[in-house]
């Protein structure tokens, strides 16, 4: 464990597990189900659409790098972090849905608590060396943006006249779901890699270390050619 780390290494790995698809996707589907049960069908559809769009953007950047080496070497960016996107999207919305009928101050505070939890999960991905800082920043920004837009639209609608699920029931169901699924591994990276190779036709995916090494070699070659051109033809 690094002397500058705020938490012991095992706790960082425990924290990062909350951001995996095994937890966040079922929780997101449960949110949609609770919205639908509370007579907010349009909000449920919009929530699933937001989740799908954020996921598609994330997967597209991963496929672009794994299949074709598309990234930004200067900032060590090889694709948006899925953990960061899902954590900062799902958990703020989860807290907001649980407390949808609470006073506005409570709703704002709950949203910030969920966002803070998502940001902590994003930070854990850097600590466990799964992502670079730029990939986490991009993921957190994307997830938080989608969460803010969705919650704003949700709160702008009038409350349904029909009875809605009790917050305690919603909370207990989500806590039980998270507890049951934490630690479950879903091989999403392998699936995305397989798709990237099928689309690109390459036999091997691009990896971060080789990508940086090839970039340095290309940079040296360009520098050498520039120097030769600057000297001009020799007699």
Per-residue pLDDT tens over the stretch 36-64: 988 899 999 999 999 999 999 999 999 99
Count how many residues are written for the chain. Answer: 235
Q: Among 105, 193, 202, 88, which Cα is nearest to 146's? A: 88
What pLDDT is stored for residue 225 in this prediction? 44
Cα distance between the two ends of the chain: 60
User: How many other C-beta atoms can be found within 10 angstroms of the C-beta atom of residue 191?
Assistant: 11
CA Rg value for the chain? 22
What's the mean pLDDT in 169-185?
Answer: 90
CA distance linking residue 147 with residue 153, whole number of Å: 10
Rounded to 10 deg, the angle between the 9-17 and 104-127 helix axes is 120
CA distance linking residue 176 with residue 76, whole number of Å: 37
CA distance linking residue 107 with residue 56, whole number of Å: 28
The answer on pLDDT for 2 being more than 50 is no
Which band of pLDDT confidence, cut at 50, 70 and 90, is reported for residue 161? low
CA distance linking residue 35 with residue 98, whole number of Å: 10
What pLDDT is stored for residue 167 in this prediction? 77
Q: Among 77, 91, 191, which Cα is nearest to 137's? A: 77
The structure's pTM equals 0.86
HSE (CB half, 13 Å, CA atoms) of 202? 17
pLDDT in tens, 19-39: 999 999 999 999 999 999 888
What pLDDT is stored for residue 165 in this prediction? 72
User: How many other C-beta atoms can be found within 10 angstroms of the C-beta atom of residue 3?
Assistant: 4
pLDDT in tens, 107-147: 999 999 999 999 999 999 999 999 999 999 999 999 999 99
What's the mean pLDDT in 137-162?
Answer: 92
Higher pLDDT, 13 or 166: 13
What pLDDT is stored for residue 18 in this prediction? 96
Which band of pLDDT confidence, cut at 50, 70 and 90, is reported for residue 14? very high
Higher pLDDT, 19 or 158: 19
Where do the H-state alpha helices sit in 69-200? 82-98, 104-127, 133-156, 167-181, 188-200
What pLDDT is stored for residue 171 in this prediction? 86
**Contact predicate 108/45, CB 8 Å:** no
Query: For all residues of the chain together, what is the average pLDDT?
Result: 88
The answer on pLDDT for 181 being more than 80 is yes
């Amino acid at each position: 464990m690094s002397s500058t780390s705020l938490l012991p290494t095992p706790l960082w790995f425990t924290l990062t597990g909350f951001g995996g698809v095994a937890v966040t996707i079922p929780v997101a589907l449960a949110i949609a189900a609770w919205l639908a049960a509370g007579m907010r069908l349009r909000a449920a559809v919009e929530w699933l659409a937001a989740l799908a769009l954020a996921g598609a953007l994330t997967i597209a950047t991963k496929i672009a790098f794994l299949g074709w080496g598309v990234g930004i070497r200067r900032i060590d960016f090889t694709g948006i972090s899925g953990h960061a996107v899902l954590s900062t999207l799902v958990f703020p919305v989860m807290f907001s849905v649980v407390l949808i009928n609470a006073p506005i101050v409570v709703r704002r505070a709950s949203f910030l608590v969920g966002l803070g939890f998502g940001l902590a999960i994003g930070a854990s991905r850097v600590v466990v060396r799964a992502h670079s800082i730029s990939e986490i920043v991009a993921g957190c920004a994307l997830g938080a943006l989608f969460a803010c837009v969705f919650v704003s639209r949700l709160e702008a609608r009038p409350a349904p006249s029909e009875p809605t699920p009790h917050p305690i029931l919603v909370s207990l169901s989500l806590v039980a779901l998270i507890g049951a699924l934490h630690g479950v591994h879903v091989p999403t990276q392998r699936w995305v890699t397989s798709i990237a190779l099928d689309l690109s036709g390459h036999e091997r995916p691009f990896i971060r270390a080789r990508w940086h090494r090839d970039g340095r070699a290309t940079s040296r070659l360009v520098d050498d050619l520039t120097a030769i051109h600057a000297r001009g033809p020799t007699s």
